[in-house]
């Protein structure tokens, strides 16, 4: 080889520029997390057993610090809330055009049915939202709608599991637990992750929605609401405050001595940390659930003073509690609207199989004003700048009524979720179902993508946040999921 060729100035400069371009490209790919080798390397959060909820670093700069999930249990119908379908109005009471007979969860379907509620354009975006959720519709310009969500199941329990944990089976960590495992919390006196069940009871999949699965138990959600504080938290009346304080101080001394005898025992340290948090919660939880300090105009805005609709007032109090928790630095709040009742025919949740109009006329007002007030309150207090609000349900509803009934059957093939707050576009719509709202047809999205996007907004790479369990690198999104880049602000 002629070495003069390699030393030629023109060729030297050309190869140098090419090499520098390659370095720059590599840097950009790493920065945008597009190098697959980098993606597959797990990032293990460094958890201090003596302070497991201590704040931990994100993988990259986060857009959101906190999350509020509003979960409508029972499968809220997208076609009667946020997904307007003019063709459904035109084809009302006619058979749905299909190449094959449509059979769903509870059997044969009847004719197409328009929504019993009118849809109206809202805000500057002109987003069509149902009058069933009039108050929420007023905030359409702050919402980022995903109309092409899909699920893997048409059954409530597995559907709730899938939306909350990324798996249809029991025993997997909830999205709140993953977030706390990765990030910890800024509040040392309250749980890092709080689940607020509906006043009527727990959702169908119950504690699976906020359970830690195979993650350490310290990362599970603590469930309580404004009406039902944590059980066994109050000091027994026969014990004075001084005696209680002295007892806890003595117990702390014994625990620390015991820990010194077993240095490096992370499980023992975690148990002691849990006892310490429980002691702190004796003071912090009663204080944060005491809404008597809220001004009258705030109670009125949420509907917490509604004496005619007790269920709405109770859910409103839960929404105020959610705001207070976020205000206090709680990382993840999961707020449930709707509860499971055996044989209830949807009377306590959004499971509108038999008589959709009658059932939703009950559920709509319970959700609408309080949830809208929560969104507005977070925004007015500046909390929405760091908080991501997520509205979701386990799956959608059919555009037809069930044969012999006046309600909609389960539909995992296409439904709506929305996000609002830090890091997402405002007044934006992503994806679409077909002309009848039956199947996701444009930018089809999965729950895996949904979870990947939520983690991304928290500054976490869903492919790198994992936990080694039974020989498998487990993660919230399993082996799936893509961040929905188009909805990011």
Domain ranges of the chain: 3-32, 66-228+291-487, 232-289
Q: What is the pLDDT of residues 334-353, one digit of tens each?
A: 999 999 875 555 568 999 88
**Helix (H), strand (E) counts: the chain:** 13, 20
Question: pLDDT at position 76, please?
Answer: 97
Question: pLDDT at position 5, please?
Answer: 47
Q: For residues 44-55, give the mean pLDDT.
A: 86
Average pLDDT, the chain: 88
Question: pLDDT at position 275, please?
Answer: 66
State the Cα torsion 153-154-157-159 to the nearest 10°.
50
Question: pLDDT at position 37, please?
Answer: 42
Q: For residues 9-19, give the mean pLDDT.
A: 58
> How far is C-alpha 2 from the geometric centre of its chain's CA atoms?
65
Q: What is the pLDDT of residues 295-311, one digit of tens each?
A: 999 999 999 999 999 99
Question: pLDDT at position 359, please?
Answer: 93
3-state helix, strand, coil in the chain (%, to 5): 40, 20, 45
Confidence check: pLDDT of 1 > 70? no
CA–CA distance from 52 to each of 56, 140, 220, 269, 289 (Å)? 10, 38, 12, 9, 24
Question: Which is more confident, 227 or 327?
Answer: 327
Vertex 419 angle, CA 441 and 293, to 5°: 155
Q: What is the pLDDT of residues 245-259, one digit of tens each?
A: 777 777 778 777 777
Element holding 455 (H helix, E strand): helix 447-457
Question: pLDDT at position 442, please?
Answer: 97
Confidence check: pLDDT of 264 > 70? no
Read off the DSSP letter of residue 107. Answer: E
Question: pLDDT at position 242, please?
Answer: 80
Q: What is the pLDDT of residues 168-223, one digit of tens each?
A: 999 999 999 999 999 999 888 899 999 999 988 999 999 999 999 999 888 999 99
Question: pLDDT at position 287, please?
Answer: 83
State the Cα torsion 126-132-135-136 to the nearest 10°.
-60
Confidence check: pLDDT of 79 > 80? yes
Residue 172 token pair: 């997997």
Question: pLDDT at position 415, please?
Answer: 98
The Cα 388–Cα 454 span in angstroms is 8
Residue 42 token pair: 């797990």
Question: pLDDT at position 34, please?
Answer: 52
Question: pLDDT at position 247, please?
Answer: 75
Question: Which is more confident, 312 or 243?
Answer: 312
Q: For residues 30-59, give the mean pLDDT.
A: 73
Q: What is the pLDDT of residues 421-463, one digit of tens each?
A: 999 999 999 999 999 999 999 999 999 999 999 999 999 999 9
Residues of 86-100 as b/e, b for ≥16 C-beta within 10 angstroms? eebeebeeeebeeee
Question: What residues pair up with 334 in beta bridges, in sequence order?
Answer: 69, 195
Question: pLDDT at position 327, please?
Answer: 95
Of 3.90.105.20, 3.40.720.10, 3.30.56.10, 3.40.50.150, the CATH number of 66-228+291-487 is 3.40.720.10
Query: Are the CB atoms for 69 and 177 separated by under 8 Å?
Result: no
Above pLDDT 90, what percent of the chain? 66
Confidence check: pLDDT of 410 > 90? yes
Q: For residues 400-408, give the mean pLDDT.
A: 92
Closest CA to 213 of 177, 180, 159: 177
Query: Are the CB atoms for 84 and 429 separated by under 8 Å?
Result: no
Read off the DSSP letter of residue 177. Answer: H
Burial of 476 (0-12, 13-18, 19+ CB in 10 A): buried
Question: pLDDT at position 15, please?
Answer: 57
The Cα 113–Cα 403 span in angstroms is 12
Confidence check: pLDDT of 104 > 90? no
CA–CA distance from 478 to each of 179, 241, 447, 481 (Å)? 15, 48, 11, 8
Question: pLDDT at position 21, please?
Answer: 62
Query: Are the CB atoms for 70 and 371 separated by under 8 Å?
Result: yes
Question: Which is more confident, 86 or 27?
Answer: 86
The Cα 267–Cα 379 span in angstroms is 40
**Sheet strand arrangement including 103-104:** 103-104, 107-112, 400-402
Above pLDDT 70, what percent of the chain? 87
CA–CA distance from 11 to each of 8, 34, 186, 433 (Å)? 5, 31, 56, 56
Closest CA to 316 of 226, 420, 206: 226
């Amino acid at each position: 080889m002629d070495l003069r060729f390699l030393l030629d100035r023109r060729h030297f400069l050309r190869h140098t520029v090419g090499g520098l371009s390659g370095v720059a490209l590599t840097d950009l790919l790493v920065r945008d997390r597009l190098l697959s080798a980098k993606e597959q390397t797990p990032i293990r959060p460094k958890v201090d057993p003596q302070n497991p909820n201590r704040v931990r670093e994100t993988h990259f700069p986060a857009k959101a610090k906190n999350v509020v999930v509003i979960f409508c249990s029972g499968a809220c119908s997208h076609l009667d809330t946020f997904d307007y379908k003019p063709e459904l109005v035109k084809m009302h009471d006619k058979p749905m055009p299909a190449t094959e007979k449509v059979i769903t969860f509870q059997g044969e379907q009847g004719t197409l049915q328009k929504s019993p509620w009118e849809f109206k354009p809202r805000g500057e975006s002109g987003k069509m939202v149902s009058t069933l959720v009039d108050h929420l519709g007023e905030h359409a310009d702050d919402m980022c709608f995903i109309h092409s969500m899909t699920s893997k199941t048409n059954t409530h329990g597995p559907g709730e599991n899938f939306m909350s944990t990324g798996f249809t089976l029991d025993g997997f960590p909830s999205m709140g637990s993953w977030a706390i495992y990765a990030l910890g919390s800024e509040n040392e006196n309250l749980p890092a992750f709080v689940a607020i069940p509906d006043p009527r009871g727990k959702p169908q999949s119950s504690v699976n929605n906020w359970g830690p699965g195979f993650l350490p138990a310290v990362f599970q959600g603590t469930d309580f609401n404004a009406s039902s504080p944590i059980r066994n938290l109050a000091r027994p009346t026969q014990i004075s405050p001084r005696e209680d304080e002295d007892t806890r101080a003595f117990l702390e001394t014994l625990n620390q001595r015991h820990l010194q005898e077993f240095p490096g025992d992370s499980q023992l340290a975690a148990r002691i940390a849990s006892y310490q948090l429980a002691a702190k919660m004796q003071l912090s939880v009663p204080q944060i659930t005491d809404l008597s300090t809220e001004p009258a105009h705030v109670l009125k805005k949420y509907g917490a003073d509604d004496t005619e609709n007790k269920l709405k007032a109770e859910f409103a109090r839960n929404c105020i509690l959610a705001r207070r928790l976020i205000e206090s630095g709680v990382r993840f709040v999961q707020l449930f609207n709707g509860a499971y009742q055996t044989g209830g025919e949807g009377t306590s949740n959004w499971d509108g199989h038999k008589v959709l109009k009658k059932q939703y006329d009950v559920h709509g007002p319970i959700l609408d004003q309080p949830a809208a007030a929560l969104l507005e309150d977070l925004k007015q207090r500046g909390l929405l700048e760091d908080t991501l609000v997520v509205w979701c349900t386990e799956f959608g509803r059919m555009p037809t009524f069930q044969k012999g009934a006046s309600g909609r059957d389960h539909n995992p093939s296409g439904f709506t979720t929305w996000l609002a707050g830090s890091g997402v576009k405002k007044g934006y719509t992503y994806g679409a179902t077909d002309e009848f709202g039956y199947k996701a047809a444009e930018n089809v999205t999965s729950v895996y993508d949904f979870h990947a996007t939520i983690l991304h907004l928290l500054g976490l790479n869903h492919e790198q946040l994992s936990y080694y369990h039974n020989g498998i690198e487990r993660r919230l999104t399993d082996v799936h999921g893509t961040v929905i880049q188009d909805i990011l602000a």
